[in-house]
Amino acid sequence: MKKIIIAAVAKNGVIGRSNGEMPWHSKQEFSHFKKTTFGSPIIMGRKTFESLGSPLKDRLNIILTKDKELKNRFEDIIVFDKLTEAYSFCENKNYEKIFLIGGGSLFPVFMKDADEMIISIMDFNAEGDIYFPQIDDNIWKINSKDKRSEFEIIYYVRNNEQ
């Protein structure tokens, strides 16, 4: 099962605001995210889920939280308090790939396990206080790039030569 990080990152590394607001709105990037993750499980933290407002359609929404009551407030989500449990669940369901979508405190954890990353680098700086972690060139190598009008998608793979 491939574990794939997907994120949109401003030029200055910002990915969000601690008040739950998105620092930008890009229909083109949202469309890329939806098309890429469609039909696959997405794993996120509670704060990221709450910033969305509701489960994303046509994807299995898996939320990492210690708040077991969250499951009672929303249908169509699965709640785990440990990432390893979420991974085991997806492996047992024979998913080919899962997407790790955030947030800021989870990306460094996700990076330890991920096989690939799909990072949209937006063509601007943004105001915010949540940042994407530094990408270590010794661990990650660029596989390909795809330039769009508002951002560039960089596809990374884990460097197995380390």
Cα-only R_g, the chain: 15
**Model confidence over 112-129: pLDDT tens digits?**
999 999 999 999 999 999
Per-residue pLDDT averaged across 3-31, rounded?
95
User: In a 10 Å sphere around its CB, with 0-12 CB exposed, 13-18 middle and 19+ buried, how is residue 117 labelled?
Assistant: buried
Q: Which two tokens stand for residue 22?
A: 């998105």
Domains and CATH numbers, the chain: 2-158 (3.40.430.10)
pLDDT reading at 161 higher than 70: no
Helix ranges (DSSP H) in 7-115: 27-37, 46-52, 70-73, 83-92, 107-113
**Model confidence over 141-152: pLDDT tens digits?**
999 999 999 999
pLDDT reading at 68 higher than 90: no
pLDDT value at residue 160: 78
Query: How does DSSP assign 55-82, residue by residue?
Result: PPTTS-EEEE-S-TTHHHH-SSEEEESS
* pTM for the structure as a whole: 0.95
pLDDT-derived band at 21, boundaries 50, 70, 90: confident
Instruction: Note whether 125 and 11 are within 8 A (CB).
Output: yes
Reduced to 3 states (helix: H, G, I; strand: E, B; else coil), residue 131 is: strand
Reduced to 3 states (helix: H, G, I; strand: E, B; else coil), residue 78 is: strand
